[in-house]
Chains A and B, each alone.
Chain A
Amino acid sequence: MGGFTSLTSRSVVLRQTNIDTDQIIPARFLSTTERAGLGKHAFNDWRWQAEGVPNPEFPFNQPHNADRAILLAGRNFGCGSSREHAPWALTDLGLRAVVSSEIADIFRNNSLKNGLVPIVLAEADVQALMERPDDALTVDVAARELRTPDGRVYPFPLDAFAQTCLIEGVDEMGYLLARQPEIERYESTLHAR
């Protein structure tokens, strides 16, 4: 990852609350040993009708939503299973940010590891943004704020480490591997417990 300083895009809206990772990608698509190519199954059971025909009502099937990189979602997005396949599927679909008034813990962690920015705003602010999905929103990771074309600014919380990872592409596994001396020192105390 890395190189994510800011992004400007219009949004796709899913108003539903408590969208769980089983909806983001149903379990029957987890029988894979790869990360790539899961976008076609994103929101599978809402997006495709039984015959494999697209559901025209579903936002991700509507032509005007193609190429939009920001998802505005109802409260408590990403609850349930820890499957990292969920952010893999969403980024494969072209998403780079999810905005909700609450984002589930494991999904938020998994998103940050895949260059998908989890943005938590007040419910009223999310609702206001949902009214105007055709506004090009700017997600400014460096400033930790989301801006609208008419000049509204919404600061969002983002852990300093996560921010550095998004911008500079810190390799988390590499970072942990570099802690080897501390890890060895810790392990040498273990038998004492």
Chain B
Amino acid sequence: MSSAPRTLFDKLWDAHVVVPESDTAPAVLYIDLHLIHEVTSPQAFTELASRGISPRRPDRTKATMDHSTPTLPAGPDGKLPYYTAAAEKQVETLERNCARYGIELFDMGSDHRGIVHVIAPEQGFTQPGMTIVCGDSHTSTHGAFGALAFGIGTSEVGHVLATQCLLQRKPKTMSITVDGPLAPGVGAKDVVLHIIGIIGVNGGTGHVLEFRGSTIAAMDMEQRMTLCNMSIEAGARAGMVAPDQVTFDYVAATPRGPKGESFEAAVAYWKTLASEPGARFDSEVVINAGDIRPTLTWGTHPGTAIAVDAPIPAANDAAAQKGLDYMRFGAGDTLEGKAVDVVFVGSCTNGRLRDMREVAQVLAGRRIAQGVRMLVVPGSEIVKRQAEAEGIDQIVRAAGAEWREPGCSMCIAMNGDLVAPGQLAVSTSNRNFEGRQGPGSRTLLASPLTAAWAAVQGKVGDVRDFFDAAAHKDVA
């Protein structure tokens, strides 16, 4: 270990190397927490079974079901309305695998179930200093706690089940510093869309991002999770934020995080993790928070992010033109004013309590516009219960929107929650790829505030107008 100042990433990497990397072989890296779900795990369990081996550390493995699961409650016959028999079989396969190997599973009956990247932090499984993997690219979410967390493929899910380790080459590091206060109506989602708009959908390839600066320090954990969640949309391996008092307080309040003396000891260790002054990153980006306006995407990848009132740029290549054609937009149009068919609030990006509260703030005392379909899908059973305790479900329903059961829902459209062909959706999820929300669906990625405001207006609007109006009312 060198005495040069180290970054947060360097410290986490060094602390988890079981066998160092060499010219001929990648490092063997230890994984503290392995999260699994129904879609990317079955073939990994099949591989283990074919070798006659069992998971090495079922105690470090946590399972949930979220992608293929219905967001409508059980029918009168008590049966859950699975979209397809294959979806139900996937869920049953996970139940069987977890029962067989003694892996803790948050199943459909559990009141702690939800989207994998919502429940692991909520339970306190996600902690600073950990390595965390899941067969899911948005595992980057957990980096918000100062963990090294990244998505893996199904073969690697098998590797981690079998050995609790992965073969990894050390990635590069990139620091992204955001300084200054955010305007009212501008939040973490706008920040991360703005960043991806600048560095590009491949700007982070091969890198682990560290988000730093006063804007990030002022964010709560839910906002930091939104930020890190979308690191993968810039192509990054992972995104992270140094743990601080905000992080420690969050973990302290979780049911399954460390308690008492072990919590104190953990905090003492977590306090040593932040990047040291003078630590070197392979590249550095600096962003002024004052430049960030409510931001949405106009095209078919998350790098097409622009401010709500900015003109859609002219296509500079065939791919951009294809994106414009698919979205049926013209260069020079603004997103502000585009008529909206569907509004989706939810996902591992924006399906937490803060997001539900922001939506309620906009919907309270209002109705969504005629012809708009709005789905509000809490990210977990806990989020759902907390929101309901605050009456958020009532506000959502009174506004004419649907309040659903937790799950991935329209983010990935595997469970029957679909945007119809040609419809324009404003979505708080993370991917606007062609057909992501259903074949032919057209998606604008946005913050929960912008999404709710679009539902009320029936078209995309500048949510700062909502805050201006609210401020003027206060004065009057």
* Residue B237 interfacial (CB < 8 Å): yes
B319→A179 contact, CB < 8 A: no
* Residue A177 interfacial (CB < 8 Å): yes
A111 to B257: give the CA distance in the assembly, Å. Answer: 36
Interface residues of B in 98-123 (CB under 8 A from A): none
Q: A20-B433, A173-B163 are in contact. Are A105 and B237 (CB under 8 A)?
A: yes
Q: Which of B42, B47, B205, B439 contacts A45 (CB 8 A)?
A: B439
A160: B residues at CB distance < 8 A: 23-25
B153→A33 contact, CB < 8 A: no
Interface residues of B in 408-440 (CB under 8 A from A): 412-414, 431, 433-436, 439
| Interface size band for B | 35 or more
A187: B residues at CB distance < 8 A: 30, 164
Mark each residue of chain A from 79 to 110: 1 if its CB lies under 8 Å from any CB of chain B, else 0.
11111100000000000000000101110011
**Nearest-CB residue, chain B, relative to A111:** B153
* Residue B217 interfacial (CB < 8 Å): no
Interface residues of B in 25-76 (CB under 8 A from A): 25-26, 28, 30, 39-40, 42-43, 46-47, 51, 53, 56, 67-68
Q: A31-B68, A45-B434 are in contact. Are A75 and B202 (CB under 8 A)?
A: yes
B47→A173 contact, CB < 8 A: yes
A133 to B19: give the CA distance in the assembly, Å. Answer: 43
| Cβ distance A92 to chain B, nearest Cβ, rounded Å | 14
| Cβ distance A191 to chain B, nearest Cβ, rounded Å | 10
A176 to B18: give the CA distance in the assembly, Å. Answer: 11
* Residue B263 interfacial (CB < 8 Å): no
Kindly count the residue-residue contacts between A and B in the assembled complex, taking CB atoms under 8 Å apart.
168
A33→B24 contact, CB < 8 A: no
* Residue A18 interfacial (CB < 8 Å): yes
A134 to B25: give the CA distance in the assembly, Å. Answer: 36
| Cβ distance A189 to chain B, nearest Cβ, rounded Å | 10
A179 to B26: give the CA distance in the assembly, Å. Answer: 13
A131 to B81: give the CA distance in the assembly, Å. Answer: 50
A34: B residues at CB distance < 8 A: 43
A84: B residues at CB distance < 8 A: 40, 43, 135, 153-155
A110→B318 contact, CB < 8 A: no
**Nearest-CB residue, chain B, relative to A32:** B86
B205: A residues at CB distance < 8 A: 76, 102, 104-105
A164→B24 contact, CB < 8 A: yes
B89: A residues at CB distance < 8 A: 31, 33
- Choose, from A3-11, A21-29, A60-68, A140-148, the stretch at the interface: A21-29
* Residue B87 interfacial (CB < 8 Å): yes
Q: A113-B153, A186-B30 are in contact. Are A27 and B414 (CB under 8 A)?
A: yes
Interface size on A, residues (CB 8 A): 51
B206→A105 contact, CB < 8 A: yes
* Residue A152 interfacial (CB < 8 Å): no
B294: A residues at CB distance < 8 A: none
B317→A17 contact, CB < 8 A: yes
Interface residues of B in 293-336 (CB under 8 A from A): 301, 303, 317-319, 322
B434→A31 contact, CB < 8 A: no
A81 to B53: give the CA distance in the assembly, Å. Answer: 28
Q: Which of B165, B431, B439 contacts A183 (CB 8 A)?
A: B165
Mark each residue of chain B from 1 to 34: 1 if its CB lies under 8 Å from any CB of chain A, else 0.
0000000000000010011000111101010000
| Cβ distance A86 to chain B, nearest Cβ, rounded Å | 9
**Nearest-CB residue, chain A, relative to B44:** A84
A179→B165 contact, CB < 8 A: yes
* Residue A40 interfacial (CB < 8 Å): no
Mark each residue of chain B from 71 to 100: 1 if its CB lies under 8 Å from any CB of chain A, else 0.
000000000000010110110010000000
A179→B18 contact, CB < 8 A: yes
B202: A residues at CB distance < 8 A: 18, 75-76, 79, 102, 104
A183→B301 contact, CB < 8 A: no
A171 to B137: give the CA distance in the assembly, Å. Answer: 24
A79: B residues at CB distance < 8 A: 201-202, 235, 301
A143 to B319: give the CA distance in the assembly, Å. Answer: 33
A176→B235 contact, CB < 8 A: no
* Residue A39 interfacial (CB < 8 Å): no
* Residue B159 interfacial (CB < 8 Å): yes
B24: A residues at CB distance < 8 A: 160-161, 164
* Residue B451 interfacial (CB < 8 Å): no
Most B CB atoms within 10 A — which of A31, A80, A183?
A31
* Residue B136 interfacial (CB < 8 Å): yes
A193 to B158: give the CA distance in the assembly, Å. Answer: 26
A80 to B136: give the CA distance in the assembly, Å. Answer: 10
A22→B435 contact, CB < 8 A: yes
A45→B435 contact, CB < 8 A: yes
**Nearest-CB residue, chain A, relative to B139:** A82
Q: A26-B439, A106-B153, A110-B155 are in contact. Are A175 and B137 (CB under 8 A)?
A: no
| Cβ distance A41 to chain B, nearest Cβ, rounded Å | 12
Q: Which of B23, B156, B201 contacts A76 (CB 8 A)?
A: B201
Q: Which B positions have Cβ atoms within 8 angstroms of A?
A: 15, 18-19, 23-26, 28, 30, 39-40, 42-43, 46-47, 51, 53, 56, 67-68, 84, 86-87, 89-90, 93, 129, 135-137, 151-156, 158-159, 162-167, 169, 171, 201-202, 205-206, 232-233, 235, 237, 269, 301, 303, 317-319, 322, 412-414, 431, 433-436, 439
Top 4 closest A-B pairs, CB basis? Answer: A84-B153, A110-B153, A33-B42, A31-B86
Pull 12 A–B residue pairs with CB atoms less than 8 Å apart, ordered by A. A16-B318, A27-B413, A31-B414, A33-B42, A110-B155, A160-B23, A161-B24, A172-B155, A176-B159, A176-B165, A177-B162, A177-B163
Q: Which A positions have Cβ atoms within 8 angstroms of B?
A: 15-18, 20, 22-23, 26-28, 30-35, 45, 50, 74-76, 79-84, 102, 104-106, 109-110, 113-114, 159-161, 164, 172-173, 175-177, 179-180, 182-183, 186-187, 193
